[in-house]
Amino acid sequence: MSEINYQALREKAEKATKGSYIVGHTSVNQHGNLTGVFVCQKWKGEPGGVIAECHVNCLVETDVQAYANAEFIAAFNPNVALALLDERERNQQYIKRRDQENEDIALTVGKLRVELEAAKSKLNEQREYYEGVISDGCKRIAELEAREVQLPTRYDLRYGHPINADERQVMIPKENGSWLYLIDLEHALRVADIRIKGE
């Protein structure tokens, strides 16, 4: 079967007689044999004007087949043809919209995949960076925790120093600065979790 030209079919259906069709009267020959079945326009529920005649001939084998042809033509009238063509057009438009939606979804999914891969890559880079930072930090903490300092020995009091000989705290000179109490220095080191050798 050749491809259907839907536009040409629509034009023909629009030009055809409007309204519902019905199988009407028949024609018989002088011997009483059926020669044709008429398809009529339906008018007030009854057959009206004749639209087509289905003849009995060498290709139509029985009277039943002639009636079946007439019933098909009556059932597939221009109104039905136009309704089917309209439905087909709506379906085509729906398919076109769905195809566009599917294409849009595919593009969105593609973009999201690219963004996901970029995010995974960045996350891996950040993870590697922070693993390095944590590793370096752990090493530094271990170094600091293992670090010990040797405090300078206590100074003997010398003549002229403004220190009471009976004070228990001994002062250490700070380079180019003021004097510090040793007990304050020891306390600051302990607060910083630096062990003092010999403790």
The residue among 48 and 171 whose pLDDT is bigger is 48
Domain boundary among 76, 94, 114: 76
pLDDT greater than 60 at residue 146 = yes
- What is the rounded distance in angstroms from the CA atom of residue 17 to the CA atom of residue 49? 10
The residue among 185 and 16 whose pLDDT is bigger is 16
pLDDT greater than 80 at residue 124 = yes
Task: Determine the pLDDT at residue 125.
Answer: 93
Q: Are 88 and 81 in contact (CB under 8 A)?
A: no
Task: Determine the pLDDT at residue 157.
Answer: 41
CA angle 175, 181, 183 (to 5 degrees): 130
Domain boundary among 52, 76, 100: 76
| Domain annotation covers residue 84 | no
- Which of 17-21, 77-81, 127-131, 157-161 is predicted with the least confidence, judged by mean pLDDT? 157-161
Amino acid in the structure at residue 181: Y
What's the domain count of the chain?
2
| Domain annotation covers residue 168 | yes
| Domain annotation covers residue 38 | yes
Tokens of 146: 């293992």
Q: Are 84 and 13 in contact (CB under 8 A)?
A: no
- Which of 41-55, 106-120, 155-169 is predicted with the least confidence, judged by mean pLDDT? 155-169
What's the pLDDT tens digit per position in 49-106?
Answer: 888 888 887 787 788 888 899 999 999 999 999 999 999 999 999 999 999 999 999 9
| Domain annotation covers residue 56 | yes
Tokens of 8: 């040409």
How far, CA to CA in Å, does 97 sit from each of 91, 94, 104? 10, 5, 10
pLDDT greater than 90 at residue 28 = no
Q: Are 27 and 38 in contact (CB under 8 A)?
A: yes
Instruction: Report which of 8, 18, 6 is spatially closest to residue 80, judged by C-alpha positions.
Output: 18
| Domain annotation covers residue 6 | no
Q: Residues with Cβ < 8 Å from 22, sequence gap 6 or more?
A: 39, 40, 41, 42, 46, 47, 74
pLDDT greater than 90 at residue 191 = no
| Domain annotation covers residue 136 | no
For the chain, what is the total number of helices (H) and then of strands (E)?
A: 4, 7
| Domain annotation covers residue 30 | yes
Domain boundary among 76, 93, 110: 76
Q: List the domain range (segments joined by +) for residue 172.
A: 149-196
| Domain annotation covers residue 178 | yes
Q: Are 83 and 53 in contact (CB under 8 A)?
A: no
**Hey, which of 32-36, 64-68, 156-160 has the most confident mean pLDDT?**
64-68
